């Protein structure tokens, strides 16, 4: 079914699909072939469409070797970690999340300002890339996604079901 969706909506659907797949793997669930194909085919189509975001989100070698390296060091130093999250960067499906320790937030922000002053051109590169990326997230694209009948959907967490609701044929 052809749909007009914003890129941010495609990311949400893709994250939900990855979450449904992860849920099955963690709980030793084997979905019926039709539902599995529904997930895999849509995942491939969406990831192909989202590849435009990878092209936008490319940085110079200098940015990667200097700014990003120091930025990640700051994330590791100031992020909230515990036995469940030993790393600053935690992966959730195909997304990453960093939580800065609220007690260290002011110091972290100060260090980021210092980093931006140390590398003003690289900080500008990051800002421009983020602006382009965020603008693209709001752009619509037309994509042909597969649908599935509601009686062919297995039990999945409601939080994941919500994001694939538009792909369900009632």
Chain Cα centroid distance, residue 81: 20
Q: What is the pLDDT of residues 128-165, one digit of tens each?
A: 999 999 999 999 999 999 999 999 999 888 888 888 88
pLDDT digit string, tens, across residues 97-117: 677 888 999 999 999 999 999
| pLDDT at residue 82, rounded to an integer | 64
pTM of the model: 0.77
Q: Which carries the bigger pLDDT value, residue 47 or residue 81? A: 47
Range list of H helices, the chain: 7-26, 33-56, 61-62, 69-78, 105-118, 120-137, 158-164
Phi-psi region of 28 (alpha: psi -120 to 50; beta: other; left: phi over 0): left
Report d(CA 22, CA 27) in Å as an integer.
8
pLDDT digits (tens, 9 = 90+) for 58-102: 899 999 999 999 998 998 888 877 666 555 555 444 456 677 888
- Mean pLDDT, all residues of the chain: 89
User: Whole-angstrom Cα distance, residue 99 to residue 162?
Assistant: 25
């Amino acid at each position: 079914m052809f749909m007009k969706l914003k890129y941010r909506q495609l990311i949400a659907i893709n994250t939900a699909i990855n979450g449904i797949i992860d849920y099955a793997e963690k709980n030793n669930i084997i979905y019926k072939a039709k539902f599995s194909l529904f997930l895999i085919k849509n995942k491939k189509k969406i990831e192909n469409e989202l590849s435009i975001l990878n092209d936008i989100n490319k940085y110079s070698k200098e940015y990667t070797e200097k700014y990003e390296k120091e930025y990640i060091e700051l994330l590791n130093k100031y992020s909230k970690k515990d036995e469940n999250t030993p790393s600053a960067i935690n992966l959730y499906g195909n997304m990453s999340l960093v939580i800065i320790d609220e007690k260290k937030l002011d110091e972290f922000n100060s260090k980021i300002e210092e980093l931006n002053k140390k590398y003003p051109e690289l900080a500008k590169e990051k800002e421009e890339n983020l602006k382009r990326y965020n603008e693209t997230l709001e752009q619509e694209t037309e994509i042909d996604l597969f649908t599935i009948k509601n009686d062919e959907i297995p039990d999945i967490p409601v939080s994941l079901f919500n994001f694939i609701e538009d792909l369900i044929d009632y």
